[in-house]
Amino acid sequence: MPKLKQFRIFYLLLIVTGLAALVLGGPGAQENGSAGVALVIKVEGPIGPATVRYIENAIEEARIQNAEVLILRLNTPGGLVTSTRGIISAILASPVPVIGYVAPSGAHAASAGTFIMYATHVAAMAPGTNLGAATPVTIGGAPTGDPAPEQDSQEADDENGSGDQQTAPSNTTALDRKSMNDAIAWIRSLAEMRGRNADWAEAAVREAASLSAEQALEENVIEIMAPDMETLLKAIDGLEVTIGRETRTLDTSGLTFVVFEPGFLTRILTILSNPNIALILMMVGVYGVFFEFANPGSIGPGVVGAISLILALYALNQLPLNTTGVILILLGIGFMIAEAFTPTMGALGAGGLVAFIFGAAMLIDTDVPEFQIAWPVILGTAAVSGAVLILLMGYVWRAHQRPLASGAEHLVGAEARVLEWAGKDGFVWAEGERWRARGETPLKPGQKVRIAALEGLTIVVGGKKNKPKKGV
């Protein structure tokens, strides 16, 4: 296929893509919900980057729907500190009152969940639930580093107002003490902001203390104990909460519950954010890149490794979602361009499509439909890119199936014309060149023969192709 024709087809497909984007567009704007709504979200499992995204999008949806309250139903063992900080920042900046509710019975809000509960405007728990055990733990288990002197541990206790020497073991490093003190100051500031028990909050961090729902209510750690959300709404009706600098009285009588479900992308990101999946992605990425460098040109391991590494960095909260999306889009485009110039039988192209789809889906960090890139646009663009890839692959396959245009294999079976001949040796003209030749039968100049083999630079000719013309 001529190159000019290929470029024309390519640009035609780009135009079709643009028209599809204009026709399909983003999802139409939805009308804001009316007042009288209590938006409910369920946060279950480890706290990670996907949880931050889910809660931030829920707060934005609550603002759009003009919801009276946002109920954050928690059941979590904890999670990443960076993700917890992101959630708490979103709650503190929320224009809608956020109600923390540990439910159902048997649920818990441990570690990061305790911090989140202290940040909410109203904290509530169902009977049979618990919270606490908020001591920060580094990924990898026990603290590492040189043992700190026992005297330093005691001084650290004295500085934080505690004389219990057992709470600061002698092998605690300076970094661990710094992390501990930072967490204590953080949770105390949240407790003081919401008027809750700051001393117990410190104990939850320093001593991993825990409380049942009944004890939390007695210790002024929560304001409400309610067996279900209907009872919760009745209990908080008329309470005053502070939103920014404004004091607002809650009016929760007769509210309608609206559950804000995570979008498809958020569900996928939640799976990726699971610590086990994040570790697997990281190892697949490292080994993939290693095998690619060890065996240059294998392509497949490098493609899988690069995509896995980027997703693992997001899952470990080392890359923001939007940045991850941009990197994946650029990586996908780069792979598809590389496929066009260095055909790899689809390895780079398929990896580029996968990276492009993931990146496009992650580019806009929201579950609010008005601000999302429409899935039809994403899939349409990917389909056009796939069509271009298939076109290129078809061209490569046809080129691969063509007979060789050079070398001994190309000459064998071709036709040659005798120039000079004496006995069993002579010269023939083949493929625009003069060749030395030999054969078993006598030949005459001008006679056409078939090339049987090539031995070095000597052609071996077979029988007659046709008789020489008279007069030659």
- Whole-structure pTM value: 0.61
Burial of 405 (0-12, 13-18, 19+ CB in 10 A): exposed
Task: Assess whether pLDDT exceeds 60 at residue 215.
Answer: yes
Burial of 335 (0-12, 13-18, 19+ CB in 10 A): buried
Q: Looking at residue 271, what is its pLDDT?
A: 82
Q: What stretch of H or E contains 458?
A: strand 458-466
Q: Looking at residue 179, what is its pLDDT?
A: 86
- Tens digits of per-residue pLDDT, 12-45? 554 445 544 444 444 333 344 445 899 999 999 8
User: What domains are there in the chain, each with its CATH number?
Assistant: 3-26+265-401 (no CATH), 37-261 (3.90.226.10), 408-466 (2.40.50.140)
Most confidently modeled of 101-110, 151-160, 347-356? 101-110
Cα 89 from Cα 186, distance rounded (Å) = 12
Task: Assess whether pLDDT exceeds 50 at residue 399.
Answer: yes
Phi, psi for 161 (deg, rounded to 5): 80, 25
Averaged over 43-60, what is the pLDDT?
A: 90
Cα 369 from Cα 332, distance rounded (Å) = 25
Q: What 8-state DSSP symbol labels residue 436?
A: E
Both tokens assigned to 101: 């509710």
- Tens digits of per-residue pLDDT, 224-261? 999 999 999 999 999 999 998 899 999 999 899 999 98
Both tokens assigned to 462: 């077979």
Cβ-contact 174, 148 below 8 angstroms: yes
Averaged over 156-179, what is the pLDDT?
A: 53
Q: Looking at residue 326, what is its pLDDT?
A: 86
Q: What amino acid is encoded at 280 in this protein?
A: I
Both tokens assigned to 322: 């939007």
- Which of these ranges, 67-76, 135-144, 285-294, 407-416, has the smallest mean pLDDT? 135-144
Averaged over 347-353, what is the pLDDT?
A: 79
- Give percent of the chain above pLDDT 70: 72
Tell me which of 401 and 176 has the higher pLDDT: 176
- Which of these ranges, 128-137, 314-323, 402-411, has the smallest mean pLDDT? 402-411
- Give percent of the chain above pLDDT 90: 33
Tell me which of 196 and 303 has the higher pLDDT: 196
Cβ-contact 140, 119 below 8 angstroms: no
